[in-house]
Each structure stands twice: as structure tokens, then as C-alpha cells.
Copies of this chain bind each other. A is one copy, B any other.
Amino acid sequence: MRLQLMTWPAVEAYLKDSTGIIIPIGSTEQHGPNGYIGTDALCPEFLADGIAEATGALVAPTISTGMAQHHLGFPGSVTLRPSTLMAVVQDTVNSLSRHGFDRFFFLNGHGGNIATVTAAFSEIYAESSLGTAGHNRPPVRCKMQNWWDCKGVRALSKELFGDAEGGHATPSEVSLTYYAYPDHIPEAKIDPPIAPTGPIYDADDYRRRFPDGRIGSDPSLASVEAGEKLYRAAVDDIAEKYRAFLTAD
């Protein structure tokens, strides 16, 4: 169930059964020569629908833009400053907690979000710990789950792509978006087959190190078929993780 397609009385009814919600969070940034700029937002958004079907979870609107300052050397990339993204996460949690939600499951599609979103959780908890949280707010729990960070997906990525998986613009994430959006698959020459690797600093440095945007990957291996397999593995694994989050002590 997408929150966007529900009425408020339906949300009121949902809250009688569950106080959990899935919040897809991604990024708008270059994904190499043949990856969609929306890859990191599209993946968790697409998966969230499947997980929701499996678990009955409510899905909030996707936070489509994340922390992607290092990609600003490539046209179309957008970043929120970490401080901005933290405020977005904070306001989202504080709004929903007013209604009684208290288990926030952020389904993440972008490695670059991990630190900032984790820091945002701490900023939220600090409001409770310092005693400044809103009077309306129950004790909340936030969890970030990277969609690729589960057993089934990792095994599949390794099996399908081995060392060509790399770190950015990976064949796995590109495959998943091809499966979700098969009508837009671009043609592109990928050269060299395996992109270079290295550390990440600012946008100019990034573009110098990684001229076509990829890190360590060969996304020419991406396919709709691989995407479908990854989709099924991810939905299964993450549905279980979501259930565990809801029922944990």
C-alpha cells in the first residue's frame, strides 16, 4: 500500500494493526554511461511495493534526492547537503510519529546516504535523550536497510557478475532498474570494461578519478533477467527483515 494512494481514514485503520512504515530513500545522480540517473531512488521504490505486498506494510513517498555531492561533476546529478537531508529525515519521522508510527524502516538505495541518514537518526534520538522531543512523540526506532545488503542479493550479485560488480553503477542495480523500466534501456559503449576504483572526495576529484562515473563495475552485463532474479531475492530477504524489525524487543 502506497501512502500516497490511501485516504486518511484508511491510514487511521492501518495504525490499529501496525505502527511500522517503509520509507524508500535514494539519490538522483549519474550512474555511468548506461545507468539511469534515478537508479538509487527507483530501486528501493520498486522493491518497496513488493515488500509491502508481502508484509502488508505501508510505503511512504520516496525521498528521491539524497547526499550525492561527489557526483556533481556529471550533468543531472543533484545533492542535498548532509544538513538538509538530515532535516528532511527528521521532519518525516517527527510528522509520522505524531500519528502513532514508531517503527521507521528506511529502505535505502544509495551508499552515499548511509552516514548522513545514520547521523539523522542520532539527531532524532538526541531530541529524546536531551529531552527536547515533541510532547506528541512516542519513543521511536529508525532502521536503515540497504537493499543490496542482504544474503540473497549478495550471493546473486557474486554469482551473476563476480568482480565486475564493482562499487558504483553496478550491474546489479542497473539490472534491477532495467527490470523495472524496460522501455528506457539506453545503448552505450562501456570502456574500459571494468572501471577504476579509488577513494571518494569532492566532485572534481571524483570526475578525474572516474571519468565515466562508474567505480569498479562493468554494467554492460546488466539485463532484465538478472534484474528479475535480484528483485525476488531482495523482496524475500527484506520482507523478513522488516517483520523482524516490527517484532523486535
Q: A residues near B, CB below 8 A?
A: 2-12, 15, 28, 30-38, 41-42, 60-65, 67, 69-70, 72-84, 86-88, 90-92, 94-96, 98-100, 112, 114-116, 118-120, 122-123, 125-126, 128-137, 139-143, 181, 184, 186, 188, 198-199, 201-205, 213, 248-249
Given A76-B99, A115-B122, A129-B69, the answer on whether A37 and B88 have CB atoms closer than 8 Å is: no
Taken together as a complex, chains A and B put the C-alpha atoms of A70 and B199 apart, in Å, by 31
* CB neighbours of A42 from chain B (8 A): 4
Given A122-B116, A123-B82, A202-B128, the answer on whether A10 and B186 have CB atoms closer than 8 Å is: yes
Residue pair B37, A6 in contact (C-beta under 8 Å): yes
Known: A5-B38, A28-B60. 17 other contacts (CB 8 A): A3-B28, A5-B181, A7-B33, A8-B76, A10-B186, A15-B75, A38-B61, A69-B130, A78-B92, A80-B91, A81-B126, A82-B126, A83-B83, A88-B88, A112-B122, A115-B118, A143-B199
Given A87-B87, A126-B69, A139-B204, the answer on whether A98 and B213 have CB atoms closer than 8 Å is: no
* CB neighbours of A87 from chain B (8 A): 80-81, 83-84, 87
* CB neighbours of A181 from chain B (8 A): 5
Main DSSP-derived SS at the A contact region: mixed
Contact residue among B7, B100, B123 (Cβ-Cβ distance under 8 Å from A36): B7
Contact residue among B91, B112, B130 (Cβ-Cβ distance under 8 Å from A98): B130
* CB neighbours of A76 from chain B (8 A): 3, 6, 8, 11, 99
* CB neighbours of A9 from chain B (8 A): 33, 188
Taken together as a complex, chains A and B put the C-alpha atoms of A42 and B205 apart, in Å, by 34
Residue pair B83, A95 in contact (C-beta under 8 Å): no
Show 17 residue pairs from A and B whose CB-CB distance is below 8 angstroms, ordered by the A residue: A3-B37, A3-B38, A11-B76, A61-B64, A65-B91, A67-B122, A70-B129, A73-B129, A79-B95, A84-B88, A94-B130, A98-B130, A112-B122, A115-B119, A116-B122, A129-B202, A198-B249
